[in-house]
């Protein structure tokens, strides 16, 4: 009996998370209410509060679950990497998977801005399981850097370039820059190429 109840509880939780994920994608985090989530999933509000104390905590669990899934795929490949270029491309494949999940990426950005105004949430979001950490990126490339260029800088540039791209792409599908030939469109591949080029230029010894 206890096992069946546990299985039922886990199924309820899963369905509530799926409903929340879909509604967040359609309406955004702030505009979606607990009542809407439970109604959409077909449960009473009490079912929600048996699993989470707030919508904020539910969203943090969704973030952790998604990032864990992405990281597991990334880490399997990193264990076989043999060069800085390979590691950088694995990292940016990982980031590209996040970008492809467009609704979730935009909601995550919305939640990050929202959480910045709430001290408790801001502290929660600083934990590694909920964020893209420049320190983690630095550790991933550290063993492949051949120069005295700090891996922390490579990690920081990765984060800045990616988060900057995310902010701009949430506003529009791309953004324009002026070059010698007129206006050109920067897309994800351009940002990725810039990050990889910077890492290789500074992290590898020059051929003599």
Instruction: Render pLDDT for 141-162 as a digit per residue (tens, 0 to 9).
Output: 999 999 999 999 999 999 999 8
Q: Over 80: is that where the pLDDT of 3 sits?
A: no
- CATH 1.10.10.60 placement within the chain: 1-52
Segment 131-144 shows an average pLDDT of 86
Q: Is 186 helix (H, G, I), strand (E, B) or coil?
A: strand
* Confidence check: pLDDT of 8 > 90: no
Asked whether the predicted pLDDT for residue 175 surpasses 60, the reply is no
In this structure, the dihedral spanned by the alpha carbons of residues 10, 13, 14 and 16, taken in order and rounded to 10 degrees, is 160
pLDDT at 9: 87
CATH, range 55-203: 1.10.357.10
Closest CA to 44 of 15, 3, 71: 15
Range list for CATH 1.10.357.10 in the chain: 55-203
Instruction: Look up residue 70 and give its two tokens.
Output: 């992405």
128, pLDDT greater than 70: no
CA 52 to chain centre: 22
Buried b (16+ CB within 10 A) or exposed e, 74-106: beeeeeebeebbebbbbbbebbeebbeeeebbb
- Asked whether the predicted pLDDT for residue 184 surpasses 60, the reply is no
Assigned fold of 1-52 = Arc Repressor Mutant, subunit A (1.10.10)
Res 176: pLDDT: 42
């Amino acid at each position: 009996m206890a096992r069946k109840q546990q299985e039922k509880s886990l199924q309820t939780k899963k369905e509530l998370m799926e409903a929340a994920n879909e509604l967040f994608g359609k309406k955004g985090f702030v505009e979606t209410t607990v009542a809407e989530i439970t109604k959409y999933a077909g449960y009473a509000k009490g079912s929600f509060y048996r699993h989470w104390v707030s919508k904020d905590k539910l969203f943090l669990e969704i973030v952790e679950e998604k990032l864990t899934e992405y990281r597991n795929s990334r880490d399997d490949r990193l264990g076989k990497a043999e060069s800085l270029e390979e590691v950088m491309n694995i990292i940016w494949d990982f980031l590209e998977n996040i970008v492809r999940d467009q609704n979730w990426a935009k909601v995550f950005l919305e939640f990050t801005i929202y959480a910045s105004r709430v001290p408790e949430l801001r502290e929660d979001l600083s934990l590694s399981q909920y964020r893209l950490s420049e320190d983690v990126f630095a550790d991933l490339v550290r063993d492949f850097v051949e120069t005295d260029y700090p891996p922390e800088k490579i990690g920081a540039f990765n984060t800045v370039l990616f988060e900057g791209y995310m902010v701009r792409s949430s506003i529009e599908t791309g953004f324009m820059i002026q070059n010698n030939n007129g206006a050109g469109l920067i897309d994800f591949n351009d940002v990725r190429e810039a990050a990889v080029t910077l890492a290789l230029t500074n992290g590898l010894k020059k051929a003599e």
